A and B are shown apart, each in its own frame.
Chain A
């Protein structure tokens, strides 16, 4: 490994975090808009839609982080540190804004 390269699992789980955050934010919108189907299913799956949401997020995060680490013959994904940080931070901030924005619009719409 070069001096300033990131470790394999830092990259794979970081990218997994970025993807899972965006996925989670979109799942919020999906379940709220499809409250008679998706929300009901998620509620029945574990007893509460939020518990199902959390379990899905953790499973996706772990599975994707492990999977991305196996790419390129087990060397994982290659990405510069600067691009990696922008991707992770950008995804987390955008996911947060999606959630806040959705519930703000939802509340104002009554």
Chain B
């Protein structure tokens, strides 16, 4: 039977991935901005923020409720850095990512067709979101591997 903790963790990763996909969408649409896709950029920017907040709240709940068990395993296993470096960094970098995604709809609220500076801000912000998001997904994989290696028979 699938445990609630596992569903929460997978949901967290899924919303994180949806956030990255929506961010790539915003990036490409902004590069090709026109009156035709302006509304879509604004909607997708809000989707980026929405997906991120869902990923954050679900992941945060999992982290404060269930992570202690995984942490104990990681620290006894061959990859203790998966907690000491990767999880510690991830849990704090994600706070910046949350603020970046919250900021994105504000940057995208202007007239991106006429205003090149506003366009550049959106591209930089969403670029940072994509890179940090990929870093978060990769970090999650390393943490998962840290647990897996700890429970494998030696």
Q: Which of A's residues lie within 8 Å of B, judged by CB?
A: 3-7, 9-10, 13-14, 17, 20-21, 24-25, 28, 47-48, 50-51, 53-54, 57-58, 61, 81, 84-85, 88-89, 92, 95-96, 99-100, 103-104, 106-107
Contacts and interface: CB of A to CB of B under 8 A. Distances in A.
Contacts of B95: 24, 53-54, 57
A6 B124 contact: no
Contacts of B106: 9-10, 13
Nearest to A14: B103
23 contacts: A5-B115, A7-B109, A7-B110, A7-B118, A9-B109, A10-B106, A10-B107, A10-B118, A14-B107, A17-B99, A57-B95, A57-B98, A58-B99, A85-B120, A85-B121, A88-B125, A92-B100, A92-B128, A99-B92, A99-B93, A100-B93, A103-B85, A106-B84
Interface string B24-58: 00000000000000000000000000000000100
Interface in B72-115: 81, 84-85, 88-89, 91-93, 95-96, 98-100, 102-103, 106-107, 109-110, 114-115
Contacts of A95: 96
Contacts of B121: 6, 10, 14, 81, 84-85, 88
A6 B110 contact: yes
B90 to A, nearest CB: 10
Interface of B: 56, 60, 63-64, 81, 84-85, 88-89, 91-93, 95-96, 98-100, 102-103, 106-107, 109-110, 114-118, 120-121, 124-125, 128, 132
Q: Is the interface of A mostly helix, strand, loop or mixed?
A: helix
Given A47-B64, A96-B96, A99-B93, A4 B116 contact: yes
Given A61-B99, A88-B124, 14 more contacts: A6-B110, A6-B115, A7-B110, A9-B109, A14-B121, A17-B103, A24-B92, A25-B92, A50-B60, A50-B64, A54-B56, A61-B102, A95-B96, A107-B81
A76 B84 CA distance: 41
A57 B103 CA distance: 13
Given A48-B64, A85-B124, A17 B100 contact: yes
